[in-house]
Amino acid sequence: MKRKTRVGLLTSGGDCQGLNAAIRGVGKTLYQYVDNIEIFGMYDGYRGLIENDYQYMRPIDFSGIISTGGTILGTSRQPYVPGKAIVDHEGNDVMPAMLDTYNRLNLDCLVVLGGNGTQKSAKLLQDAGMNIITLPKTIDNDIYGTDETFGFQSAADIATTVIDCIHSTALAHRRIFLVEVMGRDAGWLTLTAGIAGGADAILIPEIPYDIESVARTIERRKKEGRTFSIIAVAEGAISKEDKILSEEERRRLKDANPYSTISYRIAADLKRATGQETRVTVPGHYQRGGQACPYDRVLATRFGVAAARLIMERQYGYMIGVQAGQIVRVPLEEAASQTKFLPTDHPLIQTARDTGAGFGD
């Protein structure tokens, strides 16, 4: 009798749009082409693997989920020591428990859907002896080795809609409005939404801002007869003064900071510099909730199908990515090696500058 192929699935880290479309792509492809296939979904990310908590997934479990937001498997964030160990919240190594579940289920492969940190922790699973394939999901679009991640376009659509809606109230009240967009380390999402929403200034982590420069952008608009301004601010935006501080100095400054987010600090500084009324909008997790847009559903499905084909070929140790529109297989050690920051000479930055947007530099 032919041996069964046994595959594990888990989603790790923050949720985003398109996870269920990717899960569906893996499951439907395997059930269509592989005889004697068994698929196990781990509950709540690595927790399910650690605690041996999973479900056997039948073909029907992959039906009707392409438009469902979130993840049908649940997800969680698992601490890890970069390059060394995956740990629990007390710092204990949980790799033995994860290996036990993997071996108990006699898995041929574990498919891990996750962001930048998950690619790094998945590499640790591979180093421990598991066969791993990963899929790149994050609204930050900061995973090395792929031009795009699923979840990014859906979040960009939402952030753009927020900026669009702010325009009318900003104009009506002649105010400065700051819209804080997710993106702690990379500015891809803020830049994209800022351009699409017609923001007058775009502040991203890769380009430290000078508040006087931002104020000059606003004053220039006033002189041109424009009575309001919209500023797209990445949650990880940083001033030129703070950029030169040490990590410890920044931590102490953050602890003493009376503002809940960077946008509120910038708003207060701009009010002092310009005298104009300022308001802040923080859409937060709204940006990564709800249904995936059609683009992300297609991209996530392509990734899922590609992962299934790797499993059929018994080719492991890869992240599925897309480069120049083509699906590619990226060695996991390469995908986990670094973060894909937004280059400061990226053509989109010049596009924004050419249409009058300032970056505070």
Question: Residues with catalytic annotation?
Answer: 140
Cα dihedral across residues 190, 193, 195, 197: positive or negative: negative
Rg over CA atoms, the chain: 22
Q: Provide the 8-state DSSP code for 4.
A: P
Contact present, 296 and 151 (Cβ < 8 Å): yes
Q: Which residues of 145-175 are buried (b: 16+ CB within 10 A; e: fewer)?
A: bbebbbbbbbbbbbbbbbbeebeeebeeeeb
Burial 226-255 (b: 16+ CB within 10 A, else e): eebbbbbbbbbbbbeebeeeeeeeeeeeee
Composition of the chain by helix, strand, coil, percent to 5: 40, 20, 40
User: For residue 192, which of 298, 345, 321, 351 has the smallest C-alpha distance?
Assistant: 351
CA 227 to chain centre: 34
Whole-angstrom Cα distance, residue 273 to residue 220?
A: 13
Residue with tokens 């990014």: 152
